[in-house]
A and B are shown apart, each in its own frame.
Chain A
Amino acid sequence: MPEAAVPIALVTGARKGIGRYLAEHFLARGYQVEGCSRGPADWEAEGYRHHELDVADEGAVKALFADIQRRHGRLDVLVNNAGVASMNHVLLTPDATATRLLGTNFHGTFLMCREAAKVMRRRKYGRIVNVSTIAVPMQLEGESLYAASKGAVETFTRVFAREVADFGITCNIVGPTPIETDLIRNVPKDKIGGILQRLAIKRLGRFEDVANVIDFFIRPESDYVTGQVIYLGGVS
């Protein structure tokens, strides 16, 4: 089985937005990058390979990691960025929305973490970063299911971090503020403005802000940091 000399990073939801930014960020830092999303990527780069899959599909996720193991023999970094949002009053939220949000945001993160840890433990090294949101600590109205699905990710991450610590794997969380992406495209401007007013640092987040926290979590020197969450914008 070949083992690549360069580190390998996997980014979910890499077709656009933060995921694409992170994939390109890792490429610039010398990683070979595997990315995935439900649809094809409309971008390409040397050292990047895109996989079309649903992160909540166990068979597809298993096949992805078998492929990574076969081609690279290692996985250094996983960023579980794939996520869907739905902003709605609870009383107006369809049942299917709950299934969809929990499927991608929580179930997908669980499957990815489980399979990544199986590959990472072989080299006794791995860095996993899950993505949450400030909607969890801020308990934002209209985001009940989105926040709940990410709250599940946070609790899962804390327990998972303990379970895989013996394998040399850390798992942490970055919780972004609203960033100018598709995820908040349909959120009214005054609602975003209201959220920004409640931040310590009153501006929209940037992709670089997210990457900066992830860079800290995935440093080899961060091997004593696990199960932690860092929210952007001064939210706690």
Chain B
Amino acid sequence: MTDQVENNSLDRAAVIEIVVAGVREALVLASPEAETTELTEETRLIGAGAVLDSLGLVTAVLEIEQRLADEHDLVVVLADERAMSQKHSPFRSVGALTDYVLRLAAENTHA
């Protein structure tokens, strides 16, 4: 996946940082007083054991879209039709969402 976007300013580490920051923002907005949750690539975003509720996921996705636009000039809609219909949702974990962002970024670059 990463070799597809080697010419893009976005590398995997940068995207993970953005995804984690977006999820963190959603968690803080939902419960400002809560203890900090450790977020890794395996952290689940939807389904059993997810750290976010449905509104939290909306906030996280919007934060991530906004950060991609602000920091990398990348304007994408993360919740596109494929995302909603994929068997293995890209929203299932931090790592999966990172890969999905990288794929959209590569498509944008080659468009």
Write the residues of chain A forming the contact surface with B, with a CB cutoff of 8 angstroms. 1, 58, 62-63, 66, 69, 118, 121-122, 166
Contacts and interface: CB of A to CB of B under 8 A. Distances in A.
Nearest to A114: B77
Interface size class of chain B, counting residues whose CB lies under 8 Å from the partner chain: under 10
B70 A118 contact: no
Which 4 A-B pairs give the minimum distances between C-beta atoms? A66-B75, A62-B75, A118-B62, A66-B69
Given A1-B70, A66-B75, A69-B70, 13 more contacts: A58-B77, A62-B75, A62-B77, A63-B75, A66-B69, A69-B66, A69-B69, A118-B62, A118-B65, A118-B66, A121-B62, A122-B66, A166-B55
A18 B75 CA distance: 31
Contacts of A118: 62, 65-66
Nearest to B79: A114
Contacts of B69: 66, 69
Contacts of A58: 77
Contacts of A62: 75, 77
A166 B26 CA distance: 13
Q: Which of A58, A118, A122 has the largest count of B CB atoms less than 10 A from its CB?
A: A118
B5 to A, nearest CB: 20
B83 to A, nearest CB: 14
A121 B69 CA distance: 16
Q: Which of B55, B65, B77 has the largest count of A CB atoms less than 10 A from its CB?
A: B77
